[in-house]
Each structure stands twice: as C-alpha cells, then as structure tokens.
C-alpha cells in the first residue's frame, strides 16, 4: 500500500507539473486533479494501471451515481488531460464518450430588473461590484480580481487581467459606472477597507479579494429583496 501511495503522489506531482507547463488556470488545475482523484478512488489502486475498460466502467459508475452531464463531461476532460499528457496513453479514452448536453438560452434580466437589483444591493461595495457586472460585462471571477489600478478613468476603460481564455482585455467604463466606482472608492478609503494599490472589492480581510461566492450571495440577496421578485434558485453571475 505504501508503494501504491508513493506512485499516486508521484503521478499527482507530474500532473501538476504538466498543467503548470501549459499555464492552465488554478481552477482548471483543481478540476483536473479532482477528476484523477475520482478515478483513483473508484479503482482502489494507482490510476496508471487503468485500462480502457476501467474508464468505460468508471463513466458508467458516475452515471449510475447520478452525476449530471456537465459534471461527467468535466471529469472526462480532466481524465483526457491526465491520460494524454501525464500517462502518455491516449488509448485509454477510446471507450468513453462525452454526454450530450442541450444548449440552453441563459436566463437574462431586463433593464428594469437590473435597476431594481442594484437599488436593493446591501452596500455600496456590492452595488459597485454588481454595476461592473452589468455595466461592463465582466464575469464574477474577473470582478473580484480587479485592483484599484485597473480602473482608468482618463481612458474610460477597465483593465481585465487573465480574463476568459487567460487573456488580458479592456472593458468600457461608462460615465455612470465611473461615478458609482468613485463613490465606492471614497467610502472604502474613508472606512479603511480599501488599501492603496489593493483590491477594488476586498473581502473581510482587505488583503484578500472578495470571493466569487460572496459576490454571488450578494447578488442573490439583492435580487430576492426586490419587490415582486419571483426568482429564487439561480444564483449565478
């Protein structure tokens, strides 16, 4: 058993190195490692001993356990990287199949709904963060990693580092959004929750950024507090 554990640890380290070489994002690396761990637990032995039939049975097991199509496909994507890059055994995937997932039209909000949500935001910080989401089209992960220096009022842009696809880009900073961010900046500096050169939307400890979970929770609370709101379950930015 000790030898098996050493083998698994060595494979894990090799996989981390392979992902680092390709500059995969941290969330992607975490998901890929999770997929390899699931396979290891299913096999009860080191995953480098797996066969194509083992992977087929593993996928069948995940389906029988009730995993969603999205979860299964994400797991297979991680195992594809593991098999092709870390093990150099792409043939392991010949008996598995990605699950078809119908594309759904994203739930959208009207201008009136967005306005009501922003008014119901619990604090100026959350109002400013949600305004960036709807006013500049940034994703939750991009919003929470904004720094004060990323707001360029003169050029009327918001710099987004390592956005979707690990690419840098600029988003438009409208006069209205700039005004909201200026109000939040003044309040944050006055209350000493903003640090010079630090995060634009810090967490409870100003040294750390707000988490995407905190931002999502803030959105849910604001949305559910709007008069006449019937939306409850979906809390995704």
Domain boundary assignment for the chain: 2-93, 111-224
Higher pLDDT, 9 or 237: 9
Residue 94 has pLDDT above 50, yes or no: yes
Query: Which CATH architecture describes the domain 2-93?
Result: Orthogonal Bundle (1.10)
Give the pLDDT score at 14. 94
Higher pLDDT, 194 or 231: 194
Best CA proximity match to 83, nearest among 163, 174, 173, 15: 15
Best CA proximity match to 146, nearest among 194, 76, 91: 194
Can you tell me the distance from the alpha carbon of 225 to that of 58, in angstroms, rounded to the nearest whole number?
44
In the DSSP assignment, the letter for residue 84 is I
Burial of residue 163, with CB atoms counted within 10 A of its CB: 0-12 exposed, 13-18 middle, 19 or more buried: middle
Higher pLDDT, 227 or 60: 60
- Bin 25: left if φ > 0, else alpha if -120 < ψ < 50, else beta: beta
Residue 5 has pLDDT above 70, yes or no: no
Cα atoms found within 13 Å of the Cα of residue 47, Cβ hemisphere only? 29
Question: Are the CB atoms for 210 and 203 separated by under 8 Å?
Answer: yes
Question: Are the CB atoms for 158 and 150 separated by under 8 Å?
Answer: yes
**How large is the average pLDDT for residues 165-177?**
84
Q: Token pair for residue 16?
A: 């981390």
Give the pLDDT score at 119. 82
Best CA proximity match to 32, nearest among 70, 79, 92: 79
Residue 107 has pLDDT above 70, yes or no: no
Give the pLDDT score at 106. 47
Which of 22-26, 95-99, 160-164, 207-211 is predicted with the least confidence, judged by mean pLDDT?
160-164
CATH of 111-224, one of 1.10.3720.10, 1.10.443.10, 2.60.120.20, 2.40.50.100: 1.10.443.10
Q: Token pair for residue 36?
A: 């390899």
Which residue is listed with tokens 């931002």? 215
Higher pLDDT, 119 or 63: 63
* Local confidence band at 77 (pLDDT 50, 70, 90 cut-offs): very high
Q: Degrees (nearest 5) of the Cα angle 202, 112, 235?
A: 45
pLDDT digits (tens, 9 = 90+) for 119-134: 888 789 999 999 998 8
Give the pLDDT score at 8. 63
């Amino acid at each position: 058993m000790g030898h098996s554990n050493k083998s698994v640890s060595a494979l894990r380290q090799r996989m981390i190195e392979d992902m680092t070489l390709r500059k995969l994002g941290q969330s992607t690396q975490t998901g890929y490692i999770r997929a390899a761990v699931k396979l290891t637990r299913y096999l009860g032995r080191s995953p480098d001993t797996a066969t194509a039939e083992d992977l087929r049975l593993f996928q069948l097991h995940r389906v029988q356990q009730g995993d969603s199509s999205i979860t299964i496909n994400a797991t297979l994507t991680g195992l594809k990287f593991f098999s092709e890059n870390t093990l150099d055994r792409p043939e392991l995937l010949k008996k598995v199949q990605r699950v078809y997932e119908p594309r759904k039209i994203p739930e959208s909000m009207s201008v009136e709904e967005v306005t009501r949500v922003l008014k119901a935001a619990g604090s100026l910080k959350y109002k400013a963060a949600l305004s960036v989401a709807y006013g500049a089209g940034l994703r939750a992960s991009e919003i929470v990693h904004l720094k004060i220096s990323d707001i360029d009022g003169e050029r009327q842009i918001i710099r987004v580092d390592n956005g979707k696809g690990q690419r840098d880009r600029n988003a438009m900073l409208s006069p209205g959004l700039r005004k909201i961010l200026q109000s939040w900046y003044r309040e944050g500096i006055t209350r000493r929750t903003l640090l010079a050169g630090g995060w634009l939307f810090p967490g409870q400890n100003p040294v750390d950024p707000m988490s995407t979970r905190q931002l999502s929770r803030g959105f849910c609370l604001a949305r559910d507090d709007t008069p006449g709101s019937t939306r409850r379950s979906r809390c995704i930015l």
